[in-house]
Amino acid sequence: MKILAPILEDVLKRNPNEPEFHQAVKEVLESLEPVAQKNPKWVEAGIFDRIVEPERQIMFRVPWVDDAGKVHVNRGFRVQFNSAIGPYKGGLRFHPSVNLGIIKFLGFEQILKNSLTGLPIGGGKGGSDFDPKGKSDNEIMRFCQSFMTELCKHIGPDTDVPAGDIGVGGREIGYMYGQYKRIRNEFTGVLTGKGLTYGGSLARTEATGYGMCYFVEAMLKAKGNSFQGKTVVISGSGNVAIYGCEKATQLGGKVVALSDSNGYIYHKEGIDLAAVKRIKEVERKRIQAYLEVHPEAEYHEGCAGIWNIPCDIALPSATQNELNEEAAKTLVKNGCIAVGEGANMPCTPEAVEVFLQNKVLFGPAKAANAGGVATSALEMSQNSMRYSWTFEEVDAKLQSIMANIYKNASEAAKEYGVEDNYVVGANIAGFLKVAETMYAQGII
Protein backbone atom coordinates (compact mmCIF):
# COMPACT_ATOMS: atom_id res chain seq x y z
CA MET A 1 0.00 0.00 0.00
CA LYS A 2 1.50 3.40 -1.02
CA ILE A 3 -1.02 6.18 -1.54
CA LEU A 4 -3.39 5.00 1.16
CA ALA A 5 -0.80 3.99 3.80
CA PRO A 6 -0.78 7.42 5.53
CA ILE A 7 -4.57 7.30 5.77
CA LEU A 8 -4.43 3.96 7.54
CA GLU A 9 -1.70 5.25 9.83
CA ASP A 10 -3.87 8.21 10.72
CA VAL A 11 -6.86 5.97 11.45
CA LEU A 12 -4.76 3.83 13.79
CA LYS A 13 -3.42 6.89 15.59
CA ARG A 14 -6.69 8.78 15.92
CA ASN A 15 -8.84 5.83 16.93
CA PRO A 16 -6.85 4.05 19.63
CA ASN A 17 -8.09 0.84 21.24
CA GLU A 18 -10.45 -0.02 18.40
CA PRO A 19 -8.86 -3.18 16.94
CA GLU A 20 -11.95 -4.32 15.02
CA PHE A 21 -12.31 -0.92 13.37
CA HIS A 22 -8.60 -0.96 12.45
CA GLN A 23 -9.01 -4.46 10.98
CA ALA A 24 -11.97 -3.49 8.82
CA VAL A 25 -10.36 -0.26 7.55
CA LYS A 26 -7.04 -1.98 6.80
CA GLU A 27 -8.67 -4.66 4.68
CA VAL A 28 -10.67 -2.11 2.69
CA LEU A 29 -7.81 0.35 2.12
CA GLU A 30 -5.55 -2.47 0.95
CA SER A 31 -8.17 -3.47 -1.60
CA LEU A 32 -8.63 0.12 -2.72
CA GLU A 33 -4.97 1.00 -3.39
CA PRO A 34 -5.27 0.27 -7.15
CA VAL A 35 -8.47 2.35 -7.24
CA ALA A 36 -6.60 5.26 -5.66
CA GLN A 37 -3.81 4.90 -8.23
CA LYS A 38 -6.31 4.97 -11.05
CA ASN A 39 -8.32 7.95 -9.70
CA PRO A 40 -6.01 10.74 -8.48
CA LYS A 41 -8.96 13.17 -8.45
CA TRP A 42 -10.56 11.12 -5.66
CA VAL A 43 -7.32 11.22 -3.70
CA GLU A 44 -7.13 15.01 -4.16
CA ALA A 45 -10.76 15.43 -3.10
CA GLY A 46 -10.00 13.55 0.13
CA ILE A 47 -12.54 10.81 -0.59
CA PHE A 48 -10.40 8.18 1.19
CA ASP A 49 -9.68 10.47 4.17
CA ARG A 50 -13.37 11.27 4.53
CA ILE A 51 -14.84 7.80 4.10
CA VAL A 52 -12.98 6.46 7.17
CA GLU A 53 -14.33 9.22 9.43
CA PRO A 54 -17.96 8.85 10.59
CA GLU A 55 -20.21 11.80 9.74
CA ARG A 56 -21.61 11.67 13.26
CA GLN A 57 -21.18 9.52 16.40
CA ILE A 58 -23.78 9.53 19.13
CA MET A 59 -23.20 8.02 22.58
CA PHE A 60 -25.77 8.14 25.33
CA ARG A 61 -26.79 6.87 28.76
CA VAL A 62 -29.48 4.20 28.88
CA PRO A 63 -30.85 3.85 32.41
CA TRP A 64 -33.44 1.16 33.18
CA VAL A 65 -34.93 -0.65 36.17
CA ASP A 66 -34.91 -4.46 36.48
CA ASP A 67 -37.76 -6.60 37.84
CA ALA A 68 -36.30 -6.44 41.34
CA GLY A 69 -36.32 -2.63 41.27
CA LYS A 70 -32.57 -2.24 40.80
CA VAL A 71 -31.32 0.58 38.56
CA HIS A 72 -28.91 -0.30 35.73
CA VAL A 73 -27.00 1.96 33.38
CA ASN A 74 -25.94 0.84 29.91
CA ARG A 75 -24.30 2.75 27.10
CA GLY A 76 -26.10 3.41 23.81
CA PHE A 77 -24.44 4.12 20.44
CA ARG A 78 -25.42 5.21 16.96
CA VAL A 79 -22.67 5.84 14.44
CA GLN A 80 -23.99 7.62 11.35
CA PHE A 81 -21.10 6.80 9.11
CA ASN A 82 -21.93 7.82 5.57
CA SER A 83 -25.06 9.26 3.96
CA ALA A 84 -23.75 9.86 0.42
CA ILE A 85 -26.13 7.50 -1.35
CA GLY A 86 -29.07 7.38 1.05
CA PRO A 87 -30.26 7.65 4.65
CA TYR A 88 -28.01 5.93 7.20
CA LYS A 89 -29.02 2.29 7.38
CA GLY A 90 -27.82 -0.53 9.57
CA GLY A 91 -28.68 -2.64 12.54
CA LEU A 92 -28.60 -2.26 16.31
CA ARG A 93 -26.59 -4.79 18.30
CA PHE A 94 -27.32 -5.53 21.97
CA HIS A 95 -24.44 -7.53 23.39
CA PRO A 96 -22.07 -7.05 26.37
CA SER A 97 -19.08 -6.86 23.98
CA VAL A 98 -20.43 -3.73 22.25
CA ASN A 99 -18.23 -0.64 22.41
CA LEU A 100 -17.56 2.30 20.10
CA GLY A 101 -14.86 0.43 18.12
CA ILE A 102 -17.17 -2.49 17.38
CA ILE A 103 -19.97 -0.19 16.23
CA LYS A 104 -17.53 1.77 14.05
CA PHE A 105 -16.24 -1.39 12.38
CA LEU A 106 -19.79 -2.50 11.68
CA GLY A 107 -20.85 0.94 10.46
CA PHE A 108 -17.85 1.20 8.17
CA GLU A 109 -18.52 -2.22 6.63
CA GLN A 110 -22.16 -1.27 6.23
CA ILE A 111 -21.30 1.66 3.87
CA LEU A 112 -19.85 -0.66 1.24
CA LYS A 113 -22.30 -3.51 1.87
CA ASN A 114 -25.28 -1.21 1.44
CA SER A 115 -23.80 0.28 -1.71
CA LEU A 116 -23.30 -3.22 -3.14
CA THR A 117 -27.02 -3.95 -2.82
CA GLY A 118 -27.59 -1.34 -5.54
CA LEU A 119 -30.27 0.30 -3.37
CA PRO A 120 -30.21 3.89 -2.04
CA ILE A 121 -29.01 3.34 1.53
CA GLY A 122 -26.11 4.92 3.40
CA GLY A 123 -24.15 3.27 6.20
CA GLY A 124 -24.74 3.34 9.95
CA LYS A 125 -24.79 1.07 12.97
CA GLY A 126 -25.72 1.25 16.61
CA GLY A 127 -26.41 -0.72 19.72
CA SER A 128 -25.66 -1.11 23.38
CA ASP A 129 -23.55 -3.14 25.80
CA PHE A 130 -26.84 -4.37 27.31
CA ASP A 131 -27.01 -8.17 27.63
CA PRO A 132 -30.48 -9.48 26.73
CA LYS A 133 -29.56 -12.99 27.89
CA GLY A 134 -31.59 -14.08 30.91
CA LYS A 135 -33.72 -10.91 30.99
CA SER A 136 -37.50 -11.03 31.28
CA ASP A 137 -39.75 -9.65 28.53
CA ASN A 138 -40.59 -6.71 30.77
CA GLU A 139 -36.94 -5.91 31.37
CA ILE A 140 -36.27 -6.07 27.64
CA MET A 141 -39.22 -3.74 27.05
CA ARG A 142 -38.09 -1.20 29.61
CA PHE A 143 -34.57 -1.24 28.21
CA CYS A 144 -35.79 -0.80 24.63
CA GLN A 145 -38.06 2.07 25.65
CA SER A 146 -35.24 3.85 27.45
CA PHE A 147 -32.87 3.28 24.52
CA MET A 148 -35.40 4.65 22.01
CA THR A 149 -36.28 7.64 24.20
CA GLU A 150 -32.86 9.03 23.32
CA LEU A 151 -32.32 7.42 19.90
CA CYS A 152 -35.59 8.83 18.51
CA LYS A 153 -34.07 12.33 18.50
CA HIS A 154 -31.51 11.26 15.91
CA ILE A 155 -33.36 8.98 13.47
CA GLY A 156 -36.25 9.17 11.01
CA PRO A 157 -37.48 7.43 7.84
CA ASP A 158 -35.47 9.83 5.62
CA THR A 159 -32.55 10.30 8.02
CA ASP A 160 -31.51 7.05 9.63
CA VAL A 161 -33.36 3.73 9.67
CA PRO A 162 -32.03 1.20 12.21
CA ALA A 163 -32.86 -2.52 12.24
CA GLY A 164 -31.78 -5.65 14.10
CA ASP A 165 -28.43 -7.35 14.57
CA ILE A 166 -27.12 -9.66 17.32
CA GLY A 167 -29.50 -9.51 20.30
CA VAL A 168 -32.11 -7.45 18.44
CA GLY A 169 -34.94 -9.31 16.72
CA GLY A 170 -38.67 -8.91 16.19
CA ARG A 171 -39.47 -8.52 19.89
CA GLU A 172 -36.97 -5.69 20.44
CA ILE A 173 -37.89 -3.92 17.20
CA GLY A 174 -41.54 -4.02 18.31
CA TYR A 175 -40.83 -2.38 21.67
CA MET A 176 -38.60 0.26 20.06
CA TYR A 177 -41.12 1.00 17.32
CA GLY A 178 -43.87 1.42 19.91
CA GLN A 179 -41.81 3.92 21.88
CA TYR A 180 -40.79 5.88 18.75
CA LYS A 181 -44.41 6.13 17.64
CA ARG A 182 -45.52 7.25 21.08
CA ILE A 183 -42.90 9.99 21.44
CA ARG A 184 -42.93 11.27 17.86
CA ASN A 185 -46.64 10.69 17.26
CA GLU A 186 -46.01 9.38 13.78
CA PHE A 187 -46.45 6.03 12.09
CA THR A 188 -43.50 5.71 9.71
CA GLY A 189 -41.01 3.18 8.44
CA VAL A 190 -38.35 4.34 10.88
CA LEU A 191 -37.15 0.82 11.71
CA THR A 192 -36.96 -2.30 9.57
CA GLY A 193 -37.47 -5.88 10.63
CA LYS A 194 -40.89 -4.84 11.93
CA GLY A 195 -43.72 -7.29 12.61
CA LEU A 196 -45.92 -8.12 9.63
CA THR A 197 -48.96 -6.44 11.20
CA TYR A 198 -47.34 -2.99 11.31
CA GLY A 199 -45.26 -2.55 8.18
CA GLY A 200 -42.75 -5.39 8.24
CA SER A 201 -41.77 -7.04 4.98
CA LEU A 202 -42.41 -10.67 4.19
CA ALA A 203 -39.11 -12.58 3.83
CA ARG A 204 -37.11 -10.02 5.90
CA THR A 205 -36.60 -12.61 8.65
CA GLU A 206 -35.31 -15.16 6.16
CA ALA A 207 -33.39 -12.72 3.96
CA THR A 208 -29.87 -12.72 5.43
CA GLY A 209 -29.60 -16.51 5.63
CA TYR A 210 -31.32 -17.05 2.28
CA GLY A 211 -29.21 -14.36 0.62
CA MET A 212 -26.00 -15.89 1.96
CA CYS A 213 -26.92 -19.22 0.34
CA TYR A 214 -27.87 -17.52 -2.95
CA PHE A 215 -24.45 -15.88 -2.98
CA VAL A 216 -22.58 -19.09 -2.19
CA GLU A 217 -24.65 -20.93 -4.80
CA ALA A 218 -23.61 -18.27 -7.36
CA MET A 219 -19.91 -18.76 -6.51
CA LEU A 220 -20.30 -22.53 -6.80
CA LYS A 221 -22.28 -22.30 -10.03
CA ALA A 222 -19.53 -20.28 -11.71
CA LYS A 223 -17.28 -23.28 -11.10
CA GLY A 224 -19.89 -25.79 -12.33
CA ASN A 225 -20.80 -26.82 -8.79
CA SER A 226 -23.73 -26.41 -6.36
CA PHE A 227 -25.03 -27.09 -2.81
CA GLN A 228 -26.45 -30.40 -4.02
CA GLY A 229 -25.17 -33.28 -1.87
CA LYS A 230 -22.74 -31.08 0.10
CA THR A 231 -22.11 -31.27 3.84
CA VAL A 232 -22.53 -27.87 5.45
CA VAL A 233 -21.38 -26.51 8.82
CA ILE A 234 -22.98 -23.31 10.09
CA SER A 235 -21.88 -21.54 13.26
CA GLY A 236 -24.41 -19.57 15.27
CA SER A 237 -28.07 -20.33 15.83
CA GLY A 238 -29.61 -16.90 15.46
CA ASN A 239 -31.63 -15.59 12.58
CA VAL A 240 -28.83 -15.82 9.98
CA ALA A 241 -27.82 -19.38 10.91
CA ILE A 242 -31.40 -20.68 11.11
CA TYR A 243 -32.48 -19.38 7.70
CA GLY A 244 -29.09 -20.21 6.20
CA CYS A 245 -29.73 -23.76 7.36
CA GLU A 246 -33.21 -23.70 5.82
CA LYS A 247 -32.04 -22.49 2.40
CA ALA A 248 -28.90 -24.66 2.30
CA THR A 249 -31.15 -27.65 2.92
CA GLN A 250 -33.65 -26.55 0.25
CA LEU A 251 -30.76 -26.27 -2.21
CA GLY A 252 -29.80 -29.88 -1.56
CA GLY A 253 -27.12 -29.52 1.12
CA LYS A 254 -27.00 -31.33 4.46
CA VAL A 255 -26.37 -29.08 7.45
CA VAL A 256 -24.76 -31.07 10.26
CA ALA A 257 -23.83 -28.47 12.89
CA LEU A 258 -24.97 -25.26 14.58
CA SER A 259 -23.63 -23.44 17.66
CA ASP A 260 -24.13 -20.73 20.25
CA SER A 261 -21.64 -18.94 22.45
CA ASN A 262 -21.54 -21.92 24.88
CA GLY A 263 -20.97 -24.80 22.46
CA TYR A 264 -22.04 -26.59 19.31
CA ILE A 265 -24.25 -29.48 18.24
CA TYR A 266 -23.18 -32.03 15.65
CA HIS A 267 -25.94 -34.13 14.12
CA LYS A 268 -24.50 -36.39 11.45
CA GLU A 269 -27.87 -37.25 9.94
CA GLY A 270 -28.68 -33.57 9.37
CA ILE A 271 -30.06 -30.86 11.66
CA ASP A 272 -33.76 -30.99 12.54
CA LEU A 273 -34.52 -27.34 11.84
CA ALA A 274 -38.06 -27.37 13.27
CA ALA A 275 -36.58 -28.39 16.63
CA VAL A 276 -33.95 -25.61 16.43
CA LYS A 277 -36.58 -23.00 15.58
CA ARG A 278 -38.68 -24.04 18.57
CA ILE A 279 -35.67 -23.98 20.93
CA LYS A 280 -34.28 -20.65 19.73
CA GLU A 281 -37.27 -18.66 18.51
CA VAL A 282 -40.03 -19.81 20.88
CA GLU A 283 -38.40 -21.17 24.02
CA ARG A 284 -35.30 -18.91 23.80
CA LYS A 285 -33.11 -21.70 25.21
CA ARG A 286 -29.47 -22.61 24.61
CA ILE A 287 -28.60 -24.85 21.65
CA GLN A 288 -27.71 -27.66 24.07
CA ALA A 289 -31.47 -28.22 24.54
CA TYR A 290 -31.39 -29.85 21.06
CA LEU A 291 -30.15 -33.03 22.76
CA GLU A 292 -33.40 -33.28 24.75
CA VAL A 293 -35.14 -33.86 21.40
CA HIS A 294 -32.26 -35.64 19.64
CA PRO A 295 -30.18 -37.57 22.18
CA GLU A 296 -28.36 -39.24 19.26
CA ALA A 297 -26.72 -35.90 18.33
CA GLU A 298 -23.49 -34.69 19.98
CA TYR A 299 -22.99 -31.55 22.06
CA HIS A 300 -19.53 -30.09 22.61
CA GLU A 301 -18.63 -27.26 24.98
CA GLY A 302 -16.87 -24.26 23.39
CA CYS A 303 -17.67 -23.00 19.91
CA ALA A 304 -14.29 -23.01 18.11
CA GLY A 305 -14.30 -26.81 17.73
CA ILE A 306 -17.15 -26.61 15.23
CA TRP A 307 -14.59 -26.00 12.44
CA ASN A 308 -13.00 -29.41 13.07
CA ILE A 309 -16.11 -31.08 11.64
CA PRO A 310 -15.35 -32.17 8.06
CA CYS A 311 -17.52 -30.25 5.59
CA ASP A 312 -17.67 -29.03 1.98
CA ILE A 313 -19.17 -25.66 2.81
CA ALA A 314 -18.64 -23.52 5.93
CA LEU A 315 -20.96 -20.65 6.77
CA PRO A 316 -19.68 -18.73 9.83
CA SER A 317 -22.78 -16.92 11.06
CA ALA A 318 -22.12 -16.17 14.73
CA THR A 319 -19.88 -13.13 15.27
CA GLN A 320 -16.66 -11.30 14.34
CA ASN A 321 -13.31 -13.12 14.37
CA GLU A 322 -14.84 -16.48 15.27
CA LEU A 323 -12.84 -18.38 12.62
CA ASN A 324 -9.05 -18.06 12.85
CA GLU A 325 -6.07 -19.21 10.80
CA GLU A 326 -5.87 -22.60 12.49
CA ALA A 327 -9.57 -23.28 11.90
CA ALA A 328 -9.18 -22.21 8.26
CA LYS A 329 -6.27 -24.63 7.80
CA THR A 330 -8.33 -27.44 9.32
CA LEU A 331 -11.24 -26.66 6.98
CA VAL A 332 -8.91 -26.70 3.96
CA LYS A 333 -7.32 -29.95 5.12
CA ASN A 334 -10.80 -31.50 5.45
CA GLY A 335 -11.67 -30.58 1.86
CA CYS A 336 -13.83 -27.47 2.32
CA ILE A 337 -14.48 -25.83 -1.07
CA ALA A 338 -16.56 -22.76 -0.18
CA VAL A 339 -17.01 -20.33 2.71
CA GLY A 340 -19.75 -17.71 3.01
CA GLU A 341 -19.66 -15.14 5.80
CA GLY A 342 -23.11 -14.88 7.36
CA ALA A 343 -21.88 -12.82 10.30
CA ASN A 344 -19.95 -9.56 9.90
CA MET A 345 -16.17 -10.19 9.63
CA PRO A 346 -16.32 -13.70 11.19
CA CYS A 347 -13.01 -14.75 9.59
CA THR A 348 -9.74 -13.24 10.81
CA PRO A 349 -7.50 -11.70 8.09
CA GLU A 350 -5.13 -14.67 8.46
CA ALA A 351 -8.01 -17.11 7.91
CA VAL A 352 -9.12 -15.24 4.79
CA GLU A 353 -5.57 -15.45 3.47
CA VAL A 354 -5.55 -19.24 3.99
CA PHE A 355 -8.81 -19.59 2.04
CA LEU A 356 -7.67 -17.38 -0.84
CA GLN A 357 -4.31 -19.11 -1.16
CA ASN A 358 -5.93 -22.52 -1.22
CA LYS A 359 -8.51 -21.47 -3.84
CA VAL A 360 -11.43 -21.97 -1.49
CA LEU A 361 -14.34 -19.90 -2.85
CA PHE A 362 -14.70 -17.15 -0.26
CA GLY A 363 -17.79 -14.92 0.00
CA PRO A 364 -16.96 -11.96 2.27
CA ALA A 365 -19.65 -10.62 4.61
CA LYS A 366 -20.21 -7.40 2.67
CA ALA A 367 -21.39 -9.44 -0.28
CA ALA A 368 -22.59 -12.70 1.26
CA ASN A 369 -24.76 -11.27 4.04
CA ALA A 370 -26.03 -8.18 2.20
CA GLY A 371 -29.41 -9.83 1.57
CA GLY A 372 -30.61 -8.80 5.03
CA VAL A 373 -30.07 -5.09 4.64
CA ALA A 374 -31.19 -5.26 0.99
CA THR A 375 -34.53 -6.63 2.12
CA SER A 376 -34.65 -3.93 4.77
CA ALA A 377 -34.39 -1.44 1.92
CA LEU A 378 -37.27 -3.26 0.22
CA GLU A 379 -39.21 -2.90 3.49
CA MET A 380 -38.54 0.86 3.34
CA SER A 381 -39.87 0.98 -0.22
CA GLN A 382 -43.04 -0.87 0.75
CA ASN A 383 -43.54 1.46 3.73
CA SER A 384 -43.17 4.52 1.47
CA MET A 385 -45.81 3.08 -0.87
CA ARG A 386 -47.96 1.93 2.06
CA TYR A 387 -48.17 -1.36 0.28
CA SER A 388 -46.74 -4.84 0.69
CA TRP A 389 -45.35 -7.37 -1.72
CA THR A 390 -45.91 -11.11 -1.41
CA PHE A 391 -43.25 -13.43 -0.04
CA GLU A 392 -42.53 -14.65 -3.57
CA GLU A 393 -42.15 -11.10 -4.89
CA VAL A 394 -39.69 -10.13 -2.16
CA ASP A 395 -37.76 -13.40 -2.50
CA ALA A 396 -37.50 -12.93 -6.28
CA LYS A 397 -36.10 -9.40 -5.76
CA LEU A 398 -33.67 -10.76 -3.15
CA GLN A 399 -32.45 -13.41 -5.58
CA SER A 400 -31.83 -10.89 -8.32
CA ILE A 401 -30.08 -8.52 -5.88
CA MET A 402 -27.75 -11.33 -4.72
CA ALA A 403 -27.06 -12.34 -8.32
CA ASN A 404 -26.13 -8.73 -9.11
CA ILE A 405 -23.87 -8.49 -6.08
CA TYR A 406 -22.09 -11.63 -7.24
CA LYS A 407 -21.78 -10.28 -10.77
CA ASN A 408 -20.47 -6.86 -9.69
CA ALA A 409 -17.97 -8.29 -7.19
CA SER A 410 -16.64 -10.86 -9.62
CA GLU A 411 -16.39 -8.38 -12.51
CA ALA A 412 -14.57 -5.84 -10.33
CA ALA A 413 -12.15 -8.57 -9.19
CA LYS A 414 -11.48 -9.52 -12.80
CA GLU A 415 -11.06 -5.91 -13.92
CA TYR A 416 -8.47 -5.30 -11.21
CA GLY A 417 -6.55 -8.48 -12.05
CA VAL A 418 -7.51 -10.60 -9.03
CA GLU A 419 -10.06 -12.99 -10.52
CA ASP A 420 -12.13 -14.94 -7.96
CA ASN A 421 -10.99 -12.67 -5.12
CA TYR A 422 -14.42 -11.51 -3.95
CA VAL A 423 -12.91 -9.69 -0.97
CA VAL A 424 -11.20 -7.17 -3.24
CA GLY A 425 -14.07 -7.33 -5.74
CA ALA A 426 -16.75 -6.51 -3.17
CA ASN A 427 -14.70 -3.72 -1.61
CA ILE A 428 -14.06 -2.08 -4.98
CA ALA A 429 -17.56 -2.55 -6.40
CA GLY A 430 -19.13 -1.16 -3.21
CA PHE A 431 -16.69 1.74 -3.01
CA LEU A 432 -16.99 3.02 -6.59
CA LYS A 433 -20.61 4.17 -6.25
CA VAL A 434 -19.99 5.86 -2.89
CA ALA A 435 -16.81 7.56 -4.12
CA GLU A 436 -18.44 8.86 -7.29
CA THR A 437 -21.32 10.22 -5.24
CA MET A 438 -19.12 11.83 -2.61
CA TYR A 439 -17.13 13.49 -5.38
CA ALA A 440 -20.29 14.79 -7.05
CA GLN A 441 -21.63 16.19 -3.76
CA GLY A 442 -18.50 18.23 -2.99
CA ILE A 443 -16.38 18.52 0.12
CA ILE A 444 -18.92 17.90 2.90
Q: Which is nearer to ligand GLU, 211 or 253 (CB)?
A: 211
Direct distance between the N- and C-terminal alpha carbons of the chain, in angstroms, rounded to an integer: 26
Choice between 225 and 399, CB closer to ligand GLU:
399
Q: Is 411 exposed, middle or buried (0-12, 13-18, 19+ CB in 10 A)?
A: middle
DSSP secondary structure string for all residues of 254-321: EEEEEE-SSEEEE-TT---HHHHHIIIIIS---GGGHHHH-TTSEEEESSGGGGGS--SEEEE-S-TT
Q: How far apart are CA 85 and CA 79, in angstroms?
A: 16
Window 350-409: residues binding ligand GLU (CB under 6 A): 372-373, 376
Q: How far is the CB of 164 from ligand GLU (least distance, A)?
A: 6
Which of 165, 322 has the CB closer to ligand GLU?
165
Give the CB-nearest residue to ligand GLU: 91
- Whose Cβ is closer to ligand GLU: residue 4's or residue 345's? 345
Per-residue binding letters, 38-77, with ligand GLU (x by CB under 6 A) = ----------------------------------------
Name the residue nearer to ligand GLU (CB basis): 90 or 199.
90
Site string for ligand GLU, 117-156 (x = CB under 6 A): ----------------------------------------
For the question of residue 333 being annotated catalytic, the response is no
90 binds ligand GLU (CB under 6 A): yes
Work out how close the CB of 372 gets to ligand GLU at its nearest, in angstroms, rounded to a whole number: 4
333 burial via Cβ count (<10 Å: 0-12, 13-18, 19+): exposed
**Nearest-approach distance from CB 165 to ligand GLU, in angstroms:** 4
The CA distance from 146 to 134, in Å, is 19
Question: What does the DSSP assignment read for 343-400?
Answer: SSS-B-HHHHHHHHHTT-EEE-HHHHTHHHHHHHHHHHHHHHHT----HHHHHHHHHH
Residue placing its CB nearer to ligand GLU in the complex, 87 or 253? 87
Q: Shortest distance, CB of residue 103 to ligand GLU, whole angstroms?
A: 12
Residue 163, interface with ligand GLU (CB under 6 A)? yes
Q: Catalytic one among 125, 230, 280, 397? A: 125
What residues numbered 233-292 form the site for ligand GLU, per CB under 6 A? none
Instruction: Tell me how many helices (H) and strands (E) the chain has.
Output: 17, 12
**Please, are residues 236 and 315 in contact by the beta-carbon 8 Å criterion?**
no
The CA distance from 324 to 245, in Å, is: 22
Amino acid at 116: L
What are residue 361's DSSP bridge partners? Answer: 338
One of 22, 78, 89, 142 touching ligand GLU (CB under 6 A): 89
Which sequence positions are flagged as catalytic? 125
Binding site residues, ligand GLU, CB under 6 A: 89-91, 163, 165, 192, 344, 372-373, 376
